[in-house]
Structure 1
Amino acid sequence: MLTIIGCGNLNRSDDGVGVIIAQRLQQYLIENPHPDVRAYDCGTSGMEVMFQARGSTKLIIIDASSTGSQPGAVYKVPGTELEALPEPSYSLHNFRWDHAIASGKKIFQQDFPQDVTVYLIEAENLGFGWDLTPAVQKAANFVIEEIVSLLN
């Protein structure tokens, strides 16, 4: 079972790229069913990422990044490079997908995917707005094409 999860905030322009990709892949899967593939829009909820990934053998996470590199750059990174246990806290608000990977493996053990790939797309604009910038839209199309090619 492959689970694809898009993360981000649709109200902050390029930060919504992961969510937009997940929504487009959901539509693709409606039109081209793959019974062993699921796609979810998890927004900004790391806890939801952890629970949606449970029971999968493979996980793909898609999110925006802000490293100062070229807008629209796509980084495909093994999840083991990015996973991090969260700092002790009384709030789940700061529980992100990188925490979900590490915590999910620790909590669910063999019922959590060990094969995790993260696509990070460098954002150009993280201000308020609903549209992706052209460079990030082009990168989103590239990531969608790459994931669809994995399914076929």
Structure 2
Amino acid sequence: MLTVIGCGNANRSDDGVGVFVAQTLLRRLRDHPREDVRVFDAGTGGMEVMFQARGASRLIVVDAQQPGEAPGAIYRVPGEQLAVDHAPALTLHDFRWDHALAAGRRIFRDDFPGDVTVYLIEAANLDLGLELTPAVRASALRVVELIAADIDTHVTG
């Protein structure tokens, strides 16, 4: 099973890029269903990422990266490079998807995907707003195509 999870806050402009990618892929899958592919819009819920990834053989996570160098730049990173242990806290609001990768592997062991890819798209704007900036939207559509190609070649193992 290939699981794709889009993360971010759709109310903060480019921070919603992962949500945009997930929703776009969900529309595509409605037209061309695949029983071996699941797509989720996890919003900002790290726990959601951990539980939705459980049982997948492959996982793709999409999120925005803090503004820095080049708005719209796409980074494809192996998940093990981004997995971070979560420091105990009194709230789960700070439990992010990168924490979910580390915790999921530890908790679910063999029932958590070992093959994890993360697409990070460099944001231009994280202010309040419902639209992606043009550069980030173009990159999001490129990532949709990259993941769609991955879905087309995915074979349940």
SS in 2 for 1:40: strand
Q: Compute the displacement of 1:149 (Å).
A: 0.9
Q: What residue is the counterpart of 2:77 in the other structure?
A: 77
Q: What residue is the counterpart of 1:109 in the other structure?
A: 109
Q: Compute the displacement of 1:115 (Å).
A: 0.4
Q: Which runs of 4 or more aligned residues in structure 1 lie more than 2 Å from their structure 2 counterparts after TM superposition?
A: none
User: How far, CA to CA, are the matches of 2:63 and 2:45 in structure 1?
Assistant: 12
Q: Compute the displacement of 1:67 (Å).
A: 4.8
User: How far, CA to CA, are the matches of 1:148 and 1:90 in structure 2?
Assistant: 39
SS in 1 for 2:141: helix
User: How far, CA to CA, are the matches of 1:67 and 1:114 in structure 2?
Assistant: 29
Q: What residue is the counterpart of 2:60 in the other structure?
A: 60
SS in 2 for 1:150: helix
For structure 1, the residue ranges without an aligned partner over 5 or more in a row are none
Q: What residue is the counterpart of 1:44 in the other structure?
A: 44
For structure 2, the residue ranges without an aligned partner over 5 or more in a row are 153-157
User: How far, CA to CA, are the matches of 1:67 and 1:13 in structure 2?
Assistant: 12
Q: How many residues of Structure 1 are paired with residues of Structure 2 in the alignment?
A: 152
| Deviation digits for residues 48-73 of structure 1 (CA, Å, limit 9, x no counterpart) | 00000000000000000015110000
User: How far, CA to CA, are the matches of 2:114 and 2:79 in structure 1?
Assistant: 9
Tell me the TM-score normalized by structure 1: 0.99
SS in 2 for 1:124: coil
User: How far, CA to CA, are the matches of 1:14 and 1:67 in structure 2?
Assistant: 9
Tell me the TM-score normalized by structure 2: 0.95
Q: What residue is the counterpart of 2:155 in the other structure?
A: none
Equivalent residue letter for 1:88 = P
Seq. identity, %: 58
CA RMSD of aligned residues (A): 0.6
Q: What residue is the counterpart of 1:22 in the other structure?
A: 22
Q: What residue is the counterpart of 1:94 in the other structure?
A: 94
User: How far, CA to CA, are the matches of 1:53 and 1:110 in structure 2?
Assistant: 12
